Amino acid sequence: MPSYTLGKAPRGRFRWVLLVLPLVLVGLVVWGSLRRGPAPGIVIESARPAVGTATKIVARFSEPVGGLGRISLELSQGERTVRLAEQRFERAGAFSPTRGRFTANAELAATVGRSAQDWLKEGEVVLRATAERMAGPLRSRAPVVVEKRMTVRLRPPHLELLSKQHYVRQGGSGVAVLRIGESAVRSGVRAGAVESLSFVLPGGAPGERFVLFAIPWELSDGDQVRLFAEDDAGNRVEMPFVNLFKPSPPRTDRLELSESFLAKVVPAIASQTPGFDASGSLLDQYLRINGDVRRATLATIAELSADTQPTFLWRNAFAQMPNTQRRAGFAENRTYLYQGKVVDHQTHLGLDLASTEHAPVPAANAGRVVFAGWLAIYGNAVIIDHGYGLMSLYGHMASLSVKAGDVVSKGQQIGNSGSTGLAGGDHLHLEIFVQGKSVDPLEWLDEHWIRDNIATKVKVP
C-alpha cells in the first residue's frame, strides 16, 4: 500500500524551513526599506568663481541606491532666502511598466546675479542644495545639505590707459599700456570679436600691464577696437583708445586652378592628413583642403599661440629673407576658378617671398621654435615664438633644419625653401601672428613702424 504524507505536518529537517522562511522574508523587507547606502551626493558648480550680473549655477545630485526624493537649490544673502529651483521624484507604482524605477541622478540649474535677483548687494551669498532620499514606509528622510559661498561683485574693475598716440591699421598690430585694478582677472584689447590679452609690464608698477594686439584684417570699423578689463564675476569695462584707424580693405586676386596643380598638391596633402575624406574628384578634394583643412590648420596655430614666453625674445625689425621678391601680399581675397568657373574664395594671410629654388630660409628674428614639421596647407613649416604672443610662420619649405624647442637667433637658417603644401612653385610663405591672429607682416619688417608704434610705448631690450 502506498503511504500518503499529504496534509500531514512536515517532518524532520524540513519543518524548520517553513518556520524560518517567513522571518527571512520579513527581514529582507525591513532591510530593503531601511537600507540607505551612502548619503546622496551633491556638487554645486558655478560657471564663474564669483557672482556679478549673471553667473550660471548647476547643482548635481546623485543617490544610486534608493533614488532621489526631493531636491532643491536656494540662494541666501543676509536675511533673504529665495528658492531657485526644486524637483520632486515619485517611485513608479507596482503596476506601472517602469515599476520600481527611481531617479538616481538629477541636476538643477539657475542663474544668479543682478540680472535675476536685483536685490543682491556686494558681499557674500550662500547657495544651498538640499537632497532628500526617496521616501519609504520605514526609511528616514533626513535630507543632505551642501552649501557654497560666493562673493558678489557688482562694479567692474578699474581700467586706465597709460600709453598715447595709437595709430592702427586694419589687419595691423599695436601696443597699449594700461593700469588695472586688483579685481581684474582678464584685460587687453578687443578688436571686433578678437581679444588680445595683456601681460605684466616689464619694470612696471603693480597693476601696470601692456598688450600687443591684433586688428583683424576683416575688421573695418575702428570703433570696435577697445581696451577692456574683466573681473571673475564677469563685470567688464571697455574704453575706446585708438586715435586713428586706417581702413585697409583686402585686395582681390583671381587664381586659375589647373589640372596639373591639383594633381601636384592634392595627393600630397591628402596622404598626410589623418582622417581626410579622399572621395570625389581632385577638385572636390582640393576644395576640402582649401576649406576644412585650412580652418583646422588655423585652429592648430591658434592653440600653439598659448605656448608663448612672457619676455621679448626679438630685437629690432624683422628681416625679410634675402634676395627675395614680394609676390602675393597680406589679406588678399582670392577667387579660385576651375575651367572658367568660380569654385572657391579664401583669404591669403601671409607674404609670399620668391628666390631661387631651395634657398636657405633664415629666422626673421630671434625666438624659440614652437613647431617644426608638416602643417597641412603650409606643407613643411616652422613656427617661431618671439614672446608676448608674437609668432612667425615659414611655410612650403623643402627641408627643415630646426626642431620644436630650439632657440634660434635672427638670421639663423631654419630650412630651405620649397613648394610643399598648397604651393604652385618654390617660395617662402611668411606669416606673422599676434595671439594666433594673422597680422600684416610688412609692419614687422619696417624698423620705423616698430620704433614709432612699439618702442615708444614699451621698452624692447
Contact residues for Zn ion (CB under 5 A)? 350, 352, 429
d(CA 427, CA 351): 10
**Closer of 230 and 352 to Zn ion (Cβ):** 352
Give yes or no for a contact between 362 and 390, defined as CB atoms under 8 angstroms apart.
no
CA gyration radius, the chain: 33
Which is closer to Zn ion, CB of 113 or CB of 441?
Answer: 441
Listed residue (181, 177, 122) closest to 151, CA to CA: 122
> Which is nearer to Zn ion, 230 or 332 (by Cβ)?
332
Cell 609668432 belongs to which residue? 391
How do strand 80-88 and strand 360-362 relate by DSSP bridges?
unpaired
The smaller minimum CB distance to Zn ion, of residues 185 and 262, is found at: 262
Specify the residue, 363 or 430, whose C-beta has the smaller distance to Zn ion. Answer: 430
By C-beta, is 48 or 429 nearer to Zn ion?
429
CA 318 – CA 441 distance, rounded (Å): 9
Q: With CA atoms as reference, report the closest residue to 172 among 272, 246, 69, 267.
A: 246
Min CB(418)–Zn ion separation in Å: 13
Q: What angle do CA 212, 214, 215 make, to 5 degrees?
A: 140
Residue closer to Zn ion (CB basis): 369 or 381 = 381
Q: How far is the CB of 332 from Zn ion (least distance, A)?
A: 9
> Which ranges of 53-154 does DSSP label H, i.e. alpha helix?
none
If you search the block for the grid coordinates 609690464, which residue do you land on?
201
Identity of the residue numbered 417: S
Q: Smallest gap, in angstroms, from Cβ of residue 410 to Zn ion?
A: 22
Residues with Cβ within 8 Å of residue 293, at least 6 apart in sequence: 269, 273, 276, 376, 377
Q: Strand, helix or coil at 281?
A: coil
> Of the two residues 114 and 326, which places its CB atom closer to Zn ion in the complex?
326
Q: Least distance (Å) from Zn ion to the CB of residue 396?
A: 7
Report the SS3 class of residue 269.
helix
> Residue 22 is inside which H or E element, if any?
helix 15-34
Nearer to Zn ion, 195 or 352 (CB): 352
Degrees, nearest 5: CA angle 77-83-88? 150
CB of 361 to Zn ion, least distance (A): 14
Cα-based distances in Å from 115 to 52, 53, 154, 413: 9, 5, 11, 57
Closest separation in Å from C-beta 219 to Zn ion: 21
Minimum Å distance from CB 290 to Zn ion? 13
CA nearest neighbour of 76 among 24, 112, 105: 112
Complex with Zn ion: residue 368 or 429, whichever CB lies closer: 429
Residue whose CB is less far from Zn ion, 102 or 378: 378
DSSP-derived secondary structure for 385-426: EEETTEEEEEEEESEE---TT-EE-TT-EEEE-B--SS-SSS
**How far apart are CB 174 and Zn ion at their closest, in Å?**
24
With beta carbons less than 8 A apart as the criterion, state whether 163 and 175 touch: yes
CB of 281 to Zn ion, least distance (A): 25
Least Å distance, CB 373 to Zn ion, is 18
Nearer to Zn ion, 108 or 423 (CB): 423
Residue nearest to Zn ion (CB): 429
Instruction: Of 231, 179, 241, give the one whose Cα is nearest residue 204.
Output: 179
C-alpha closest to that of 363 among 325, 322, 408, 425: 408
Here the cell at position 122 is 556686494
Query: Least distance in Å: CB of 176 to Zn ion?
Result: 30
CA angle centred on 318, ends 315 and 320, rounded to 5°: 150
